[in-house]
Structure 1
């Protein structure tokens, strides 16, 4: 019987270079002598099985690595896959982490890692003395923080924390999802590894779930080994959506950050607003790019969580939804979304106010969004 299959990839690949990366929607690739040699030598970056590496996925990782100034990048199936795989790669050892972190990250730190036998100590992200005491308190493998915490928008002094971390022989892992490389590059301030939920600002269109790990090539390769065995690889089509979103990253963030700055200023003067969380001060001036303080705003409505819920549900320009970082403005209340698993006392300890509302500013007209928030506050007095 004659084999009618094409000879390897003949006819599959264009002879000219495409402007847009092709979506290599293939689980496996034809092998040849060179590929077998790479497998035998432990080469993980060659494309022979998409659970290990894929050309479309690598194209997206390379774009984000360039944004963050990283030597290498690795896409994962979600932001939590990026965080969990990174931490489990850098363990065993002790973890010192910020208390102000995303709810699922907190669950990983206080529930899952201790269940696996790892010691985790949590401290106030803004208290350098607390960081120093905790890191020096016992041998430490990992220090973990968010550049801008979710949802409090507490800003971590990355340069000072990196000094404390490295003096103890530990690795600093930073989640830069909220800040984005538009405002700050943690690697330039001493971080060893940066992680993102690429679902958010990097992809920017609320249509994909993805994560990314960034750092030096050796560390990223070690994380990749665990990603392979844990199964957290990213689908090629999802990677293409991330790549496409990155092409408008600067344009989107310029608009969103400008809107967030205007909104924060207006809310700070509003009589029905108790507090506004938006990056500012000496640390922001030192580590964030001038005029770029991010697209996230959190504020506390007078009247507590019930008032916050009423305000949120009077909005018409902004939409109530989980997640953030899209072209549309998304709004949520932490007590019933990202941090619903925490009780009132635990939320207070994490500096999550009763009545807090979190907004991720999109690219709508700034005045329209501000008017929307102001009418919601007025209608719920």
Structure 2
């Protein structure tokens, strides 16, 4: 508004029509110049404000990340210290604190896996867990902390480059048994659980790919729709285990006890059932394509039909239900040469190099040429 008054002082009235018009143009140009200058000033101020806000935001994020890393390290140390406590409740608190750290800080998951694995190995073999008997036999209390640590390892997210667990040498029997463990949908793939007590365990839809379960007690375990492809189950006790719809592609069940086990709808393509006991096992709609049945006991198997037998491989020692016909090829020298000397004592584990990069679909011939000859007898 002051500019209009300024025009009156700069160009008094009465100058004539042309002078008045020129004075008005000069006034408008002056107003436009002042307006543009003001807007430019506002823009400069706004840019400065934005830069200051962005710097403050970045500094805040960096400080927050730094605080988060500091907190993670601090609570990680506290959680590890709790694992060494003599108090069972304190140890459980440490285990679940480590699980939370792994969830909130994926970069720390490898350290969490290594610490929990070491805890399980050390704790399960601790002599104080199984004191020498002196006087009246006192029932051993189950080690719930080991139970919890294994369950946590199974629940952790799958991350590239982070192993599931290293339980080699752990003694998961007796008070350290994993009896009735709740690990459905869990992931314990490529884990060594040889000889563990997993009786009545809940492992439905769990990922146990290439897991070593030789000699494991899986009596009454629930493994419905679990992934057991290329898993070693030699000599395992699977009495009354529920394996409906499970993926047992390329798995080794040599010498396993599958009495009354439910295998309905299971995929046993290329699996080895050499010397396995399938007394009254349910095999309705199980896929036995390319499966090796040398020396297996199938006399009272339920739901077994001729098409399944024709798709499998066996030998003269395979015991079939009387209503089924033994394929002519089963009595040939070619089939018999793969029969172990004593299939009921055939216990071992896969070589890691055999499992690495193994195709999911193998012909029976390739399977018995590449897998069985490389089994380690223990």
TM-score if structure 2 supplies the norm length? Answer: 0.24
Query: Structure 1 length normalisation: TM-score?
Result: 0.24
Structure with the bigger percentage of strand:
1
Which has the larger Rg? Answer: 2
Higher relative contact order (CA 8 A, sep 6+): 1
